[in-house]
Chains A and B, each alone.
Chain A
Amino acid sequence: MATDVVMPQMGESIAEGTIVRWIKKVGDKVDRDEPLFEISTDKVDAEIPSPAAGVLAEIRAKEGETVPVNSIVAVIGAAGEAKAAPAAQTPTAPAVKPVEPPEPTAQGDGASGVRGAGQPTPSRVELGLQSRPQQTEDAIRQRSSPLVRKIAKEHHVDISQLHGSGIAGRVTKADILQFIGREEQQGWAGSASAASKTGAATARQGAQASSLPAAPGLEHGEHDVVEKMSVMRKRIAEHMVLSRHTSAHVHSVFEVNFARVAQIRDAKKAEFERAGAKLTYLSFIIKAAVDALRSMPIVNSSVDGDSIIYHKDINVGIAVALDWGLIVPVIKHADEKNLLGVTRAVADLASRARSKQLKPDDVQGGTFTITNPGVFGALLGTPIINQPQVAILGVGNVEKRPVVVDDAIAIRPMAYLTLGYDHRVIDGAVADQFMSLVKRSLENWDPGVS
């Protein structure tokens, strides 16, 4: 049974519509209500679902053609009728479709704020059917953002007692901070310029959104499980491919003797513990990298067209592995922190990453990244640069190895450190100079420099 597909009436005063795009080709299988084509009228673009299940047998109106309402634009044939239809298709069974859980949405599960948004989260006005306005108003005031509620809870503030300056009296973060008497005006306002700065990079990432290519010739086997990527997974995938396409990756590996650092760490461990911080090798590595970045600004730069942007701030991203993916929170102004400061920052960011408490600002503005595959036992890694940065330091496992010291074989805690760098702007000699600096400060750690 063939079904005619007609140009739908999209409004009383609309007599015709233009076909902008056919989503299905002739011979394609379609489900009932599956998007078939797109039309455009006035300033509106509309996706038109198929009126029936079957196979698209014929297209009568080409892309770009404008046709009157109710004229036939295509014909859907029954699945069995079309020659192209797969024989195995049973007429009653619904078309085989990979299991697609609904996209994670505002109601989905997962962390807030870890997406690297360039702006405060959008205001959301949820419009329900008419209800009693009095009650709603109270509900609105109560329904502040989770952040505001958290602050309120921490400070034992009753939100409903506050006067909100937000939409319809919503209590904003600024309101509550003002109430508590703190002027921590970070976040909301003032972030516009930051957004436009980092936004470009993020947006570029977004531009690639549809570019995750299908694997050629891949067929889903009977026992395969098809799972839609999470938003985070997709972003990681896009970001990694984008980086590979953007930078000319080269890797340089240095071996570093951690004996000196181990000594100092043992000496300072107790002191740090009293201060509530766990001193790790990573803290030393961050400090050493920051010092080297200060000496060699090119490693702390970005490429913009044919210009090189030298970043004044040294903001070090630390890759944190999560059960559900990967996130790179950023230690802002790492060069202004001492060993204890860096140690605290790492612990704070890592724990908030794992408890999904990172704010968008926490994952932005990095100028250099350190990743630590060694924690999982890797000897060394060849990390991919975190765009729009130009270098990334990979830290291998620190383990005791036999090494030659003064012509004798000694046992020392050793690790391989890898610098992944963008050869567009960093040449091998420069990269190795950078790594020599890192190596030198780690091997000759000056305990005065804490």
Chain B
Amino acid sequence: MPYGEALALQRALVEERVHSRAEAERTVGAPGVKNDLLLLVEHPHVLTLGVRGDGGRSHILASDETLAARRIEVFEAGRGGDITYHGPGQVVGYPIVDLKPDRCDVHRYVRDLEEVLIRTAADYGVDAGRVEGLTGVWVGRDKLAAIGVRISRWITSHGFAFNVTTDLDYFNLIVPCGIADRGVTSLERLLGRAVGWRDVEDRIAAHFCGVFDRTASSIGPVELKS
């Protein structure tokens, strides 16, 4: 799914959540209906920037010409964090979750996302963990998954990018997340074998439900409307 569309879809979904919550608050006694979503997508090659400072634009190492020649777009994503790369072979997760009323803590949310991915990696026998001060999921000195989040009235968007069979060469175009002295890795590289895309998706979804104390109530492709 092209990044721009994912961005628009998230925006629309967050908007919808804000509306429906306001609606629920107006209706006295109405049960707070929760419709949290976890979108799992794969993007074509794209570089996305955070909001802080220049968003990490200075961390693009490749020239504009190289980016154009390789058909890599650059987006301002409006999320936290520095620059990152998305592309084929990477499971990108966008949870649209209402953190109200009991999870209003952005640090906890980020740690929870890390937990989901650490557990997913563990399913494959990969011992991934956290590094103090460097958000993300790490194996040794290499980053397996990146996290960048936006919260709007405690409704989350953006999320994480988990390298499954990502072509890691693309990260050479940038300084990932602005951290120069560390590398990136993928599940495939760590295991030395191919991993089923859908299997990874399944596990991420299952662990997400576990960590966030939710039950998957329906699963299927989003029907994109226009």
Q: Using CB atoms and an 8 Å cutoff, list the residues of chain A in contact with chain B.
A: 10-14, 18, 20-21, 33, 35, 38, 40-47, 49, 64, 102-115, 117-131, 133, 136, 139-140, 143-146, 165-168, 170, 192, 195-197, 199-200, 202-207, 209, 230-232, 235, 304-305, 307, 325
Contacts and interface: CB of A to CB of B under 8 A. Distances in A.
Interface in B1-39: 1-9, 11-13, 15-16, 19, 22, 34-39
Contact of A115 (B5, B36, B150, B206): B5
Contacts, number: 301
22 contacts: A10-B105, A12-B108, A42-B110, A45-B79, A46-B80, A47-B153, A102-B12, A106-B223, A118-B44, A119-B1, A121-B1, A123-B40, A124-B221, A129-B214, A140-B216, A140-B218, A143-B218, A195-B88, A202-B4, A205-B4, A206-B8, A207-B75
B222 interface: yes
A148 B220 CA distance: 10
B188 interface: no
A124 B208 contact: no
B78 A45 contact: yes
Interface residues of B, number: 86
Interface in B199-214: 201-202, 205-206, 208-209, 212-214
A102 B50 contact: no
B36 A206 contact: no
A40 B49 CA distance: 14
Contacts of B102: none
A168 B205 contact: yes
Contact of B150 (A45, A64, A126, A325): A45
A200 B205 CA distance: 28
Nearest to B74: A207
A170 B8 CA distance: 26
A111 B226 contact: yes
Contacts of A38: 51
A344 B98 CA distance: 48
A140 B106 contact: no
The 10 closest A-B pairs by CB, nearest first: A206-B4, A199-B44, A200-B71, A128-B217, A127-B214, A11-B105, A45-B80, A122-B41, A110-B225, A121-B221
B68 A131 contact: no
Given A64-B53, A124-B39, A168-B216, A117 B106 contact: no
Contacts of B216: 125-128, 136, 140, 167-168
Nearest to A118: B2
B149 A45 contact: yes
Contacts of A122: 1, 6, 9, 39-41, 221-222
A233 to B, nearest CB: 9
Nearest to A196: B44
Given A11-B105, A11-B106, A115-B226, A45 B50 contact: yes
A126 B35 contact: yes
Nearest to A101: B19
A18 B51 CA distance: 11
Given A121-B1, A136-B215, 6 more contacts: A10-B105, A45-B150, A46-B151, A110-B225, A125-B37, A199-B71
Nearest to A103: B12
A125 B105 CA distance: 23
A139 B81 CA distance: 38
A127 B38 contact: yes
Nearest to A209: B4
A166 B219 CA distance: 9
Q: A120, A140, A196: which has the most chain B beta carbons within 10 Å?
A: A196
A111 B24 CA distance: 28
Nearest to B88: A192
Nearest to B153: A49
A438 B39 CA distance: 47
B131 to A, nearest CB: 13
A119 B97 contact: no
Contact of B15 (A13, A105, A119, A129): A105
